[in-house]
Chains A and B, each alone.
Chain A
Amino acid sequence: MNQDVAPLPGSHYDGLSFEDRMATVEFRVAARPHITVDSDVCRSCTTKACVHACPAQLFVPTSDGGVLFNYEQCFECGTCYMVCNTEGALTWSYPEGGHGVVFRRS
């Protein structure tokens, strides 16, 4: 089968914001962050790979060249520490047992 058809009108329309996307996932937020970012170290980072690679969009660049991080809606996937080239920028562990992301349909 060789499909080469124009998309039907309306097929692009799902009107879903990133917040709505993340709201489909359950997070049992722990009191203590399981990942911490040293923004001072990040200031010297040229790639800022975490910013676009984190599937949960949890890294936000700041005007002073650092990054702001929020652990609450984290998938605990590991992407950030794997793409980060800079020693000492991230500490990464799992949240306290029973907390963090809960998948039900994945």
Chain B
Amino acid sequence: MAESADVVVAGAGPAGAAAALVAARAGLRVVLVERGPFPGSKNMYGGVIYPRVLDTLLPRWWEEVPVQRWVTRRATMVMTGTKALTVEFRGEDWDAPPYNGATAYRADFDSWLAGKAADAGAELVCSTTVTGLLRDGTGRVTGVRTDRPDGDIRASLVIAGDGVNSFLAKEAGLYEDWSVTHFTVGVKEVLALPREVLEDRFNLTGDEGLDIEILGGTQGIPGGGFLYTNLDTIAVGVVLSLAGLRDSGKRPEDIIAALKDHPAIAPLVRGGELKEYSAHTIPEGGMDGMPHLAADGMLVAGDAAHLCLASGIWLEGVNFAIGSGALAGETAIEAIGSGDTSAAALSGYRRRLENSFVLANHRKLRGAHKLILGKRAQTVYPELACGIAQRVFTVTDPQPKAGLRRWVHDERKRGGVRLRDIVKDGWVGWRTFG
């Protein structure tokens, strides 16, 4: 006999947990199904969560969220084979509530957030994989199948928060043009360092943290690198375009090894003992790879809906997952309240997303991934920036300094960078990030 619920949520990642939390709070019967033995056990990411999205959902979340360190400094490092140029920013009030970002392990964070949904009344079922959709004769989604004996669950609405490989969105036919070019893969190492060494090395005190995003450290494969500080570990890894990796013939762990050997990174990771190695894919197509967000009886949120920004210099997704999950939850309440969960009745979801930071940011950054993953941003500009920086910092006495204009000109010539391209990319970049 099939179980039944108002809403069944597939996946207890940030998207699924937020959706379940919102729907359960409104008194709906919610079953939250997770395939891992505990929420977060299947999930890896770079390492920084930007949790301001929780302000309305869980006021004073910072008093209990399980974090490693509060990010008080963010740096972007642009690197070439042997050089690196770092621009660092210290947030004045990032070390006090409401904070800006925090490093956390997903096993801790996702378990915590799913626990909040369970506290609100959602029934969390772990170690259970959703294996497919239940549908009626018209094709409308009426529930899910799981790999448990008697494992069907009927529901008025299914919310797919099942992440980047979303089998549910695929089965519902929501991806119009699925392409490998919309994806990257992230691999990372978590390295243990004694806390004193770590704080000394990164110049941190108390629970302050530093995050470094790296451009140009991926052996010519479009992508980026990152290095984040946890309490007594650091996370170092790379995000690689899948098509680029496929064609490169290179191995992911060798690319991390090369990054760790870079003179700018080696002193930071030296002596770290590997605690966990991990890999996960990322939807990076932005708006271009986005599926339809609703079918009859079903909504898609988080990575499953490609609501993720991870184009090299920033890695954000947990915040968008929580944001979109919460809005899917709100849409569920409205639709179930009105007794209509057809795709048309669920169109409020897209509208809600458009009006929130979720789609606003995606619209704004549409195309950013092409710019960041393009050849010029990956190799040419890092050379240019590092070259100029080297000249700026090199003391040429007794020769007088040539001056910035001259340096830029020389480096541009040396790297074969056309002024036209800089202007073009600058224009695209300004429109995208400005």
State whether the Cβ of A6 lies closer than 8 Å to any Cβ in chain B. Answer: yes
State whether the Cβ of A8 lies closer than 8 Å to any Cβ in chain B. Answer: yes
State whether the Cβ of B106 lies closer than 8 Å to any Cβ in chain A. Answer: yes
- Interface pair B253/A55, CB less than 8 Å apart: yes
- Interface pair A28/B107, CB less than 8 Å apart: no
Task: Determine, out of A14-22, A38-46, A61-69, the stretch whose residues face the partner at the interface.
Answer: A14-22
Q: How far is the CA of A82 from the CA of B396 in the complex (A)?
A: 51
Query: Quick one: closest A residue to B269, CB to CB?
Result: A11
Residues of B within 8 Å of A12, CB to CB, are 261
A34 to chain B, nearest CB (A): 9
How many chain B residues touch A (CB < 8 A): the figure is: 67
A52 to chain B, nearest CB (A): 5
* Residues 66-106 of chain A, each 1 if its beta carbon lies under 8 Å from chain B, else 0: 00000000011111001100000000011111101111111
Q: How far is the CA of A79 from the CA of B280 in the complex (A)?
A: 8
Q: How far is the CA of A53 from the CA of B243 in the complex (A)?
A: 10
State whether the Cβ of B347 lies closer than 8 Å to any Cβ in chain A. Answer: no
- Interface pair A106/B263, CB less than 8 Å apart: no
Task: Determine, out of B40-48, B337-345, B352-360, B403-411, the stretch whose residues face the partner at the interface.
Answer: B40-48
State whether the Cβ of B252 lies closer than 8 Å to any Cβ in chain A. Answer: yes
Q: A52-B250, A103-B107 given. 7 additional CB < 8 A pairs?
A: A11-B270, A22-B277, A52-B251, A77-B185, A77-B280, A77-B281, A106-B43
Query: Quick one: closest A residue to B250, CB to CB?
Result: A52
Task: Determine, out of B91-99, B125-133, B320-328, B366-374, the stretch whose residues face the partner at the interface.
Answer: B125-133
Q: How far is the CA of A79 from the CA of B43 in the complex (A)?
A: 15
The answer to whether A49 and B246 touch (CB under 8 A), given A2-B389, A7-B266, A75-B279, is yes
Residues of B within 8 Å of A2, CB to CB, are 83-85, 386, 389-390, 393
State whether the Cβ of A31 lies closer than 8 Å to any Cβ in chain B. Answer: no
- Interface pair B190/A106, CB less than 8 Å apart: yes
Query: Quick one: closest B residue to A98, CB to CB?
Result: B127
Q: How far is the CA of A12 from the CA of B427 in the complex (A)?
A: 41
Q: A106's contact among B126, B131, B188, by CB below 8 Å, is which?
A: B188
Interface of A is mostly: loop
Chain A positions near chain B (C-beta within 8 angstroms): 1-8, 10-12, 14, 16, 18, 20-22, 24-25, 28, 47, 49, 52-53, 55-57, 75-79, 82-83, 93-98, 100-106
State whether the Cβ of B365 lies closer than 8 Å to any Cβ in chain A. Answer: no
Residues of B within 8 Å of A79, CB to CB, are 185, 242, 245, 279, 281
Q: How far is the CA of A2 from the CA of B386 in the complex (A)?
A: 8
Q: How far is the CA of A78 from the CA of B166 in the complex (A)?
A: 11
- Interface pair A97/B127, CB less than 8 Å apart: yes
State whether the Cβ of B426 lies closer than 8 Å to any Cβ in chain A. Answer: no
* Interface set, chain B 70-106, CB cutoff 8 A to A: 82-86, 88, 105-106
B47 to chain A, nearest CB (A): 8
Residues of A within 8 Å of B247, CB to CB, are 49
The answer to whether A94 and B106 touch (CB under 8 A), given A53-B246, A83-B245, A106-B43, is no
The answer to whether A98 and B37 touch (CB under 8 A), given A53-B245, A106-B105, is yes
The answer to whether A1 and B261 touch (CB under 8 A), given A78-B164, A103-B278, is no
Residues of B within 8 Å of A102, CB to CB, are 36-37, 41-42
Q: B126's contact among A11, A16, A98, by CB below 8 Å, is which?
A: A98
The answer to whether A105 and B233 touch (CB under 8 A), given A4-B83, A8-B267, A25-B277, is yes
Query: Quick one: closest B residue to A56, CB to CB?
Result: B279
State whether the Cβ of B432 lies closer than 8 Å to any Cβ in chain A. Answer: no
- Interface pair A5/B263, CB less than 8 Å apart: yes
Residues of B within 8 Å of A78, CB to CB, are 164-165, 183, 281
State whether the Cβ of B187 lies closer than 8 Å to any Cβ in chain A. Answer: yes
Residues of B within 8 Å of A94, CB to CB, are 35, 129, 167
A95 to chain B, nearest CB (A): 7
Residues of A within 8 Å of B44, CB to CB, are 103, 106
* Interface set, chain B 217-267, CB cutoff 8 A to A: 230, 233, 235, 242-243, 245-253, 261, 263-264, 266-267
Query: Quick one: closest B residue to A53, CB to CB?
Result: B245
Residues of A within 8 Å of B230, CB to CB, are 105
